[in-house]
Structure 1
């Protein structure tokens, strides 16, 4: 019974993390759509920022699930 509760808890954490990541991606998408990208270099800088932020968020989410 205890193992089953633990499994449900882990599954719940994964669902919460997935929702957080989805909300983050939605927010970033809205920001990028509203932001007027004037040059290719600017677009590349934004892409780097988004990827860096996504990696950080994913790492934090992974650690929170594992921990």
Structure 2
């Protein structure tokens, strides 16, 4: 936040996404995460989905379908 990094830079500098991230499914803001065609937007929605699940105290392993 302090660096004012945008999503494009954030994902470009991220080491790599978890290989199970495509297993994240569901609807976020009215869109099915697995059907979003724009890859950057899909990555953003994956993060949204994970953040939405955190208050439900789901284990990260369950969210990533390990």
Which TM bucket (shorter chain)? 0.3 to 0.5
TM-score, normalization: structure 1?
0.34
**Normalized per residue, which structure has more strand?**
2
Bigger Cα Rg: 1
**Normalized per residue, which structure has more helix?**
1
